[in-house]
Amino acid sequence: MDYGLILPSLGDDATREGIDAAGEIAERLGFTDVWTTDHLLVDASAAEDYGTIFEAVTTLAYLAGRTSTVRLGASVVVVPMRNAVVLAKELATIDNLSHGRLIVGVGVGWSRAEFANVGVAERFEVRGVYTDETIRLWRHLWSGADWPFHGRFHTFDDFVFGPLPEQGGHVPIWIGGRQEAALRRVGRLADTYHSSATSPSAYEPRLAVIRAAAEEADRPMPALSARVRVRLNSNEPDDGYAMRGTPEEVASEVRTFAALGVGHLALTFPTREPEPLARDAEAFMREVVPLV
């Protein structure tokens, strides 16, 4: 099992110092990757979770210059709220400058109000097909192709794109979501499925949908990842799913994910302060990982 660290980049107590510390913690403890979270301009109903949030793409660019070994991922970029070509350029630049460490997590979003707030209200109803086309556009540009691209939302015949990502057209694309349309998108287009706030029992039924879509597209089954909260040595009530309890209880949950074929967990710890975050991450690596 590989372990990623979700950056403490959201919430009223999110700070640059916490993000810096998380990058250092991840590299020192052997996490394989670090992950930003994405929202741009939520409405008041989502303010508690996402009212304060460091922008996902620029935070990855910042960490590209402050880290040297961990991969850099977004969990996940809400693609249809953005210009696909600008995003292609930003992501290619990060991959190039980081020597090929980028992972692009992709989602379609869920907040109609946020789409309206950023000026693309009409795109909410077509956010799935916009995302599909965006992924194809990225692959086209990142591969160094020089022939025209004609899609529903983007058409260009005469263009030059550079610099290319160091990983070229093979920058890993991880797709999140839980609805059937999203799961089928995973099977058709993704390198990895990346769930969020999902228990193993809820995760398992999704695999058949992903596998069927991959087979229809004549593609291999994507790899599997999950974004999960960790509450080590705590059984306090919490909203939603978390791996909680003693080290053995948490390790048992990790083993259950592994039995489904999940090979990567992106971990969210409860604190965003540098010292407590370090203690939580160290405890997980010291007390849980050896039991898996």
- Confidence label for 239 from pLDDT (cuts 50, 70 and 90): confident
Cis preceding-peptide flag for 163 (omega within 30 of 0): yes
Q: What's the CATH code of the domain at 33? A: 3.20.20.30
Total domain count, the chain: 1
- What angle is formed at CA 144 by the lines to CA 140 and CA 149, rounded to 5 degrees? 35
What is the model's pLDDT at position 238?
73
Domain, as residue range, for 267: 2-291
Would you say 193 and 214 are in contact if contact means Cβ atoms under 8 Å apart?
Answer: no
What is the model's pLDDT at position 177?
96
Nearest to residue 187, comparing CAs of 208, 160, 163, 170? 208
CA distance 106 to 112: 17
Q: Between 16-29 and 56-64, two packed helices, what is the crossing angle to 10 degrees?
A: 50
CA distance 13 to 212: 42
- The pLDDT tens digits for 181-215 are 999 999 999 999 999 999 999 999 999 999 999 99
- The pLDDT tens digits for 135-176 are 999 999 999 999 999 999 999 999 999 999 999 999 999 999
